[in-house]
Amino acid sequence: MKNDRVNFGSKLGVILASAGSAVGLGNIWRFPYEAGQHGGAAFILIYLVCVFVLGMPIMISEFLIGRRSRANTAGAYKVLAPHSPWRWVGFMGVLAGFLILSYYSVVAGWTLEYILEAGVNGFAHKSATDFKSAFIAFSQNPVRPLVWLIGFLLMTHYVIVKGVKKGIERFSKVMMPLLFILILILVFCSLSLPGSNKGVEFLLHPDFSKVNSEVFLGAMGQAFFSLSLGMGCLCTYASYFSKDTNLSRTAFSVGVIDTFIAILAGLIIFPAAFSVGISPDAGPSLIFITLPNVFQQAFIGAPVLSYIFSLMFYILLALAALTSTISMHEVVTAFIHEEFDISRTAAARWVTGGCIVLGIFCSLSLGILQHIKLFGLGFFDLFDFVTAKIMLPLGGMFISLFTGWYLDRKLVEDEVTNGGTLKVPFLKLYIFILKYIAPIAIALIFINELGLLS
């Protein structure tokens, strides 16, 4: 196994690269539509509990597994638990990464189309209905989305081949703060639209009568997806962390940044959706229909501003997606490179090629391959369901069992406290959650969804 590993160059770089993986389409595209389909505020509350009770400890675990082993996610289990079946947790993670990357890149490709549209001022003078029909026509087109999909995967490929420090870190440092500022501006724009208060209410007033097993599964899946957890992504990144990185503090920063951005995205989308009368449960098309509208309506007297902001927004959205696709690609590339002993570039080529093929099927399943269904779902929805709602939480469950029960307690404490040099106030609670709460809670949510609890 190769171990000529580079490190991230700075503390800020570590946080921003990890946050760059976490913050992406999951926050701005997937969170609002999942929240919208599951009733809004109640879903968000359950989501928050999942992030902070399950997500944080599991993130620290991924960090410590990665940094301790300094290997790709499957290799990590071989180092820490030689000759044991634990390596299958790593394999499942790599497979999940590969599948997510395939359908995620389809949506990431859509953002490129919207950059072009914003760039040629194509949103001007259009109404909500125009945006809706334009999106449907585009996403069902058999060629255009494929071109963008391939383009996006090639961009990801390029950064991966350039390497960790130069590519990922430098990139995240500029992009993340910019994205944050623009999102704040958009929240103000959206809140200023007429009738936006209904959207705020939808976000803030929980209606628990709508909570069922699907809401729990959806919120848990979204938490894992959004935090990039359960598939060894942060484990792979942590293998590039240095010895003095504070794992628990980094996890907390990433969790807070990620959650904050998701809530802000909700504060952009829902007020805007209610303002123009688009149903919050419109599904994956939600942001692509509501957002162009926000730009048009919020700056009615100043078309230049709507032009600049919409263009900037889609560029930043594409970049946020890129820092996430890079992280997924890295999981699979590092695995192939280290386990099969082929060069990084060749490994990256296999990953990019494979994802292009699967991605094409996912994209076409929204249009000309609509009639092909497996378990009642098209490829795109199937990939999303199987990964976010099954593989990631299952991965998270095994990661918590591995850290809580298998790994030596001393090793765990040693990693989290950096050899006793850091005071970590919640260490005992953290281990308790990993041993009992997280595995039991995840198992219960699965069992509940199967209908065995009612």
The C-alpha atoms of residue 57 and residue 399 are separated, in whole angstroms, by 10
- Of the pair 57, 296, the CB lying nearest ligand PFF is at 57
Kindly provide the b/e burial profile for residues 99-121, where b requires at least 16 CB atoms within 10 angstroms of the residue's own CB: bbbbbbbbbbbbbbbbbebbeee
Nearest approach, Cβ of residue 436 and ligand PFF (Å): 25
Nearest approach, Cβ of residue 320 and ligand PFF (Å): 7
- Of the pair 384, 415, the CB lying nearest ligand PFF is at 384
Q: DSSP for 190-217?
A: HHTSTTTHHHHHHHHS--GGG--HHHHH
Helix (H/G/I), strand (E/B), else coil: 242: coil
Nearest approach, Cβ of residue 329 and ligand PFF (Å): 9
Residue 443 has a CB neighbour count (10 Å cut-off) of: 13
Nearest approach, Cβ of residue 298 and ligand PFF (Å): 25
- Of the pair 250, 297, the CB lying nearest ligand PFF is at 250
- Of the pair 222, 296, the CB lying nearest ligand PFF is at 222
Nearest approach, Cβ of residue 170 and ligand PFF (Å): 19
Region class of 241: left (phi > 0), else alpha (psi between -120 and 50), else beta: beta
Residue numbers of the site for ligand PFF (CB under 6 A)?
A: 21-22, 24-27, 97, 100, 225-226, 228, 231, 233, 324, 327-328
Residue 303 has a CB neighbour count (10 Å cut-off) of: 15
The C-alpha atoms of residue 408 and residue 427 are separated, in whole angstroms, by 14
Nearest approach, Cβ of residue 280 and ligand PFF (Å): 19
- Of the pair 139, 387, the CB lying nearest ligand PFF is at 387
Angle, helices 87-119/286-298, rounded to nearest 10 degrees: 40
- Of the pair 57, 97, the CB lying nearest ligand PFF is at 97
Q: Percentage helix, strand, coil, to 5, in the chain?
A: 75, 0, 25
Say if residues 48 and 57 touch (Cβ distance below 8 Å): no
- Of the pair 226, 403, the CB lying nearest ligand PFF is at 226
In angstroms, what CA-CA distances link 426 with 44, 48, 70, 182, 235? Answer: 24, 18, 25, 34, 21
Closest residue to ligand PFF, judged by C-beta, is: 26
Nearest approach, Cβ of residue 20 and ligand PFF (Å): 9
The C-alpha atoms of residue 424 and residue 417 are separated, in whole angstroms, by 6
The C-alpha atoms of residue 242 and residue 8 are separated, in whole angstroms, by 7
The C-alpha atoms of residue 375 and residue 259 are separated, in whole angstroms, by 32
What is the token pair recorded at 362?
């996912």
Q: Which of 153, 99, 172 is nearest to 319 (CA)?
A: 172
Nearest approach, Cβ of residue 410 and ligand PFF (Å): 29
- Of the pair 27, 139, the CB lying nearest ligand PFF is at 27
Nearest approach, Cβ of residue 357 and ligand PFF (Å): 20
- Of the pair 274, 380, the CB lying nearest ligand PFF is at 380
